[in-house]
Every structure is written in structure tokens, then in C-alpha cells.
Amino acid sequence: MRIRDDYRSLTGQEKAAIILLSLGEEVAAKLFALMGDDEIKELSQTMAGLGTVNSSIIERLIVEFADQLSATGSLMGTFDSTERLLSKVLDKNRMAEIMDDIRGPAGRTMWDKLGNVNEGVLGNYLKNEYPQTVSVILSKIRSDHAARVLSTLPEAFAMEVVMRMLRMETVQKDVLDDIERVLRNEFMSNLAKTNRKDTHEMMAEIFNSLDRQTEARFTVALEERNRDSAEKIKALMFKFEDLSKLDPSGVQTLLRAIDKSKLAVALKGAKEELRDLFLSNMSERAGKMLKEEIEALGPVRGKDVAEAQTAMVNTAKELAAKDEIVISKGAGGEDDLIY
């Protein structure tokens, strides 16, 4: 049997396996109880293939582990720190699978996780599956949750599922494994991705809550460090639809300042309420001409509409920065004002 005596050749999994073996059966059993089946299998396979580990390696590993833990002072676990750690131990595909799993709904098993998915979301996915598959899935989750999911399905489809459930016999393990795999790879993976919150969106929400001077100070500082991120955050903070919060005076001020050649294109892609807001603050003749110009445009590329709307938003920002217009979040005091 080989003897492991080269510390530098150890992988992350091998280090974890050695630590667990060093802790003794009682402590290792408690740690295994906190792991998933896949983690236990992988660590167990690594343990079985370790061979004899030199005592000097064990001592060095434990000392290094203790030093890192004590030097940390405190720990903060996040999705990003966990992902970085896993990337050093697992291959890219396995790491992505685990991160999608933990970012998704909570639960130790697939059926526990499904039980924590909103019934509307789950029902919307299941309505495109075979009734037999849906009947198996609903039979595996809590009855109260299954009832809510069933009520979201089209009536004829739901009754077909009910009939399949009434006639259901024991489901073979390989069939159940196939269903679990599909759910994990298709539904849970996509659900986890849609649940991820964009970091720029998160910061835009925080910046929106700052007072004007603080927000401006932070934005300038961020522009110096990362202009792309600063621009993304500014775009998320102020959208074209936010112009609907302008009062009549603000609309008229903006109309005088914007590039008139872009107005029709921008309003072509606007909601009716926002379009009416601008038209109602123009003279009857000017409003009629703008309507005719919008209709005469015909189909317009989405890219052109977005560029025209962005130009209007940038002009509105400039006017707001000079206190010439104010955009309010709604009724309330001065704290409700943003730009």
C-alpha cells in the first residue's frame, strides 16, 4: 500500500478526508450527518483511496487548519465565498450543480425542495409534463402542497393527473431516479438562476435609498474605480418608466430640453399612460403632429427605441441634478424625492 508523504500533492478533498479521519469516528459521524448523500459518497471514496498517510502530513494539515481558523477571527459565509471554496475542490460542472442546488429552495431531498416551491411556479412547469409524470411528483410531495399545485393546473389536465394517481402502483426506483434527475437539471437549475439577484440591481436599490449628496459622492467614487459598474447602477436606478412620476411642470421642462427627433421614437415603445402624459402637456397642434409622427414611423427596432428612451432619461437626470425637475416616488414628504 502506498504511503502519502508529499503534502503539496494533496487535493482539497484529500485534506478534508484526512481531517475527518483524524477527528475520530464519533466526531466524523456528526459531520457526516450534516452532509448530503453525494458529499458523503465523494469523501468516502477519497478516504478509501488515501492509503497510509505519514504522521508528519497529518500534523502539518491540522496545524495549518488551526492557524487559518484562528487567523480568521470571525467567519462570514456567503454564496460567493462558498462558490470560491468549492471551485478549489470540485470540477466546474459539479460546483455549478451544487451551487444551483443550494441557491434554490431549501430542503435535504428533491421532494423537500419541491415542497418549498410556490405552487404557481411549480404548476406552471408541470402543466407541460406528461400526466403520469405529474402524478408521480404530486404523490411524493406533501398533500397540502400537492392540493394547491393541482388547483393551478388546467381542469382537464388536473383530472387526468387525479385519475393516474388513483391507478398508481409502486413506482420503480429507476423511473423515480430519472424524474429526480430531470427536475434537478431542468426545473431546479433554472429556478435557482432566476432567484439570483443581480449585484448591480441590489446596489441600485441601495443607492436609491441614499440622500442625493451621498448618492452623488458614492457614484463619483465608483466611477473612478469601475466606470462600467457605475453606469449599470445608474441605469438601473432610473428607468424610462420613471418619467411617469414627473409633474406637469416637469414634463414641460423636459419637453423643452430633449432632442425632438428622438421623442417620437422613444414614445413609440412607451406604455399608453406615459405617452398620454407627454401628449397632454403639449399644445393641441403639437400633440396632433406628434401622434401622426409616431404612427408614420411604422415598425421600429427595439434597439432604436431603447437608445431614444435612454437619451430622454439622461436629459431628465441632468435637469434633476440642477433641481429643474423633480421625480417623486409617490405621495409623501421630502424623503420621497429622488432623481
Q: Name which residue leads in pLDDT, 152 or 110.
A: 152
Percent of all residues in the chain with a pLDDT value above 70, rounded to a whole number? 79
The SS3 call for residue 3 is strand
pLDDT of residue 317: 78
Q: Name which residue leads in pLDDT, 255 or 236.
A: 255
The yes-or-no verdict on residue 91 having pLDDT over 80 is: no
| Burial call 138-149: b when 16+ CB within 10 Å, e when fewer | bebbeeebbeeb
pLDDT of residue 77: 52
**H or E segment to which residue 4 belongs:** strand 3-4
What residues have CB less than 8 Å from 43, skipping those under 6 apart?
A: 13, 16, 17, 20, 32, 35
DSSP state of 184: I
38-72 pLDDT, tens digit per residue, is 778 888 888 888 888 888 888 888 887 777 665 54
pLDDT of residue 102: 56
Band (pLDDT 50/70/90 cuts) for residue 128 is confident
Q: Is the dihedral of CA 49, 52, 54, 60 positive or negative?
A: positive
What mean pLDDT, rounded, does the chain reach?
Answer: 78
Q: Name which residue leads in pLDDT, 101 or 237.
A: 237
